[in-house]
Chains A and B, each alone.
Chain A
Amino acid sequence: MSDEIRYSKDHEWVRIDADGHAVIGVTDFAAGQLGDVVYVDLPAVGDELTAGTEMGEIESTKSVSDLFSPIDGTVLEQNQEVVDAPELVNSSPFEKGWLLKASFEELPEDLLSADEYRELTQS
């Protein structure tokens, strides 16, 4: 379970790293829909996250979208690399383009598996 990526209906992904923290990013599907990402506005370290509520913004050349937290938790770290080079969200959405690390107690039950998320984005 620990290395399995889970997905929110809002197109964020979560995986649990070796320290037991949640790593959060946006999916390749969302990145593809947005177009080239030019700016990310992330919550500050220490900010509380609430699953399903707005935690920041992501801008592409054409549009602005809200980022929704997939979990309840507390921000531990921003990915400074993606703040400096937002195009990492497009080029490496699941690896270098991660957005946040957060502490959490438990993951929401309604997060989707890879298969469920694929079904959502193909419908």
Chain B
Amino acid sequence: MSASDLRSTPLEQVHERLGATFTDFAGWRMPVRYGSDLAEHAAVRTSAGLFDLSHMGEIHVRGPQAGELLDHALAGKLSSMSVGRAKYSLLLAEDGGVIDDLITYRLAEDHFLTVPNASNAAADLAALQERAAGFDAEVRDASLETALIAVQGPASEEILVAALLGADGGTEGFTAEDLAALRYYRALAGTYRGEELLVARTGYTGEDGFELYVPNELAEQLWDQLTAAGGDRLTPCGLACRDTLRLEAGMPLYGHELSLDLDPRQANLGPVVALRSKEDFVGRAAYEAADPSVLPVLVGLAGEGRRAGRAEAAVRTPEGEAIGRVTSGALSPTLGHPIALALVRPDLAAVGTPLVIDVRGKDLPVAVVELPFYSRA
């Protein structure tokens, strides 16, 4: 794909001015880092980071049967979720594989917003539209008109309140008390300069934080407002540190820990699939028929030193038997040692099991550890 085929977010000019290094991510030209990705990672852990996530999809589902449609289309039960809440769910294929993992917000009784990964947004839209047949609900893709800005880290709340509710904050429908009281996986809707703004307390970093959904044309103004309010406490962050942050937090990344070829139970996401609280849904029959007990299971691995086992590296027993593969791995910036998520043979998944990662021909001794690798105090 040539550069001209790449989509750019409404914040591209901002990233250019900040001197970002760009990468092609799922067909989007995205900032991978502005300066040092280790410094950006540390900023999110200790203060706050500002992310442009406008490549993520936004699909609205509206209508009297919007909840029923999502119960049928997704693996979770969405119809019983109250307004203002968010839920992590999976979009399964008929054969039980995972098309995508996504977060869905209930904005009103008859209005949901679901947020796919950029790489899967088109597949999700197609699946939702197909699965909408027979339901009194409309599926509308707003991905290309909606920007998503995240503020993540322990200083997020203070910065967000200062930015949105300070002098010329431009918002209506929010109070400092509401924002402070907003709990994890909850969202508040209001307006910003007359347009809809959704403030969600969600994220993908393992820290407290917020995700802000706003129309493209207001993205730069909102970004600048957050930057001004955050000052030295808020660091623009690229996708490189987003990946190391989510990995430390033990969160799956589609294409690595989740895919069409993996059963959700392998990634320990069985509880996300609502078998008891609802009736049939797409993928249920295959999911129930499958026996995941013999399949490789996702574990955390940790070792010493500075070398990391990367995705696709082989995992072996200390005796040399091949028993799995790394799905994501990095030298953990926060912990200072290598960490990895890996799919391993289920009888070797117990915490404490000694294993070896083949790091390009050299053995890295590791042990199975509890997930997440990092959790905030």
Chain A interface residues (CB < 8 Å from chain B) = 32-33, 35-36, 38-39, 41, 57, 59-64, 86-87, 90
Nearest CB of A to B309, in Å: 10
Give the residues from 336 to 353 in chain B that come closer than 8 angstroms, CB to CB, to chain A: none
A104 vs chain B, min Cβ distance (A): 27
Tell me which of A41, A57, A59 contacts B331 (CB under 8 A): A59
Give 12 A-B contacts (CB < 8 Å), ordered by A residue.
Answer: A32-B21, A33-B21, A35-B37, A35-B240, A36-B39, A38-B38, A38-B306, A59-B308, A61-B244, A61-B333, A63-B310, A87-B38
Nearest CB in chain B to that of A36: its residue: B38
Complex Cα spacing A86 to B306, Å: 10
Q: Which residues of B contact A (CB under 8 A)?
A: 21, 32-33, 36-39, 41, 240-241, 243-244, 306-308, 310, 330-331, 333, 360
Residues of A within 8 A of B333 (CB): 61
Complex Cα distance A71/B365, Å?
A: 34
Chain A nearest CB from B38 CB (Å) reads 4
B305 nearest CB neighbor, chain A only: A39
Closest Cβ–Cβ distance, residue B141 to chain A (whole Å) = 30
Question: Would you call A62 and B38 a contact (CB within 8 A)?
Answer: no
Task: Kindly list chain B residues whose C-beta atoms are within 8 Å of the C-beta of A60.
Answer: 37
A62 touches B240 (CB 8 A): yes
Q: A62-B240, A62-B330 are in contact. Are A35 and B33 (CB under 8 A)?
A: yes
Q: Which of B240, B241, B331 contacts A39 (CB 8 A)?
A: B331
A contact residues around B21 at 8 Å (CB): 32-33, 35
A61 touches B330 (CB 8 A): yes
Which B residue sits closest to A37, measured CB to CB? B38
Report Cα–Cα, A64/B310, bound state, in Å. 9
B36-A90 in contact (CB<8A): yes
Contact in complex: B331, A61 (CB < 8 Å): yes
Q: Kindly provide the distance from the CB of A115 to the nearest chain B CB, expressed in whole angstroms.
A: 23
Does B306 lie within 8 Å of A61, measured CB to CB? no
Contacts of B330 in A (CB 8 A): 61-62
Pairwise interchain contact A36-B37, C-beta atoms closer than 8 A: yes
- Quick one: which of B38, B240, B241, B360 contacts A64, CB cutoff 8 A? B360
